[in-house]
Amino acid sequence: MRIDVLIDELQEILDGAFTLPLSGGKTVVNAERLREVVEEIRTNLPGEVKQAKSIVADRTNILNKAREEAESIVQTAEERVRTMSQQSEIVRLAQEKAKGIIFNANNQAEQIKKAANDYIDNLMKKADEELSKNLSDLKKTRAGIQALQQKESAQNKAKKQ
């Protein structure tokens, strides 16, 4: 039996007791029944105390395990946050570096393009100058040949006459 039931039974025994007249409130109880209930309490008390201690120990173990699990969950979450922050930082730094590389590559490409255009323009200018000079020389040579031919032609005409 449970202790609380046995205590209730003790209360009933006391409530059902007869008060002795002129005894100053003393009562008569069934001593044998009272001894049986007390003996049952003694018998059940160690078991109930043991059960209560076991419940308290289980409760303590459960709370400790729950606390450990909660700490583990928090630690895992904090680690994930750190990892994600680090990954986000790495991604951000990589993106910044990539932007810098792209910017530098675009600048270098523009410089190379400008240098190539300048080089081509310079080559074309030199070719134009050379061609102009050659054309001028060609025109002079042609004019010289024409003058020579006219002179020879005039000499030939003069000899024939």
**Residue 71 pLDDT exceeds 90:** yes
Rg of the chain on CA atoms, in Å:
61
Please, what is the average pLDDT of the chain?
87
- Stretch 42-50: mean pLDDT: 78
SS3 content of the chain, % helix, strand, coil (to 5): 90, 0, 10
Q: How confident is the model at residue 1 (pLDDT cuts 50, 70, 90)?
A: low
Instruction: Write down the pLDDT at residue 46.
Output: 76
Beta strand ranges found along 27-114 (DSSP E): 27-28
> Which H or E run contains 19?
strand 18-19
CA-CA-CA-CA dihedral for 153, 155, 159, 161, to nearest 10: 70
Q: How confident is the model at residue 74 (pLDDT cuts 50, 70, 90)?
A: very high
Question: Which residue in this structure is represented by tokens 């932007």?
Answer: 99
Instruction: Write down the pLDDT at residue 21.
Output: 84
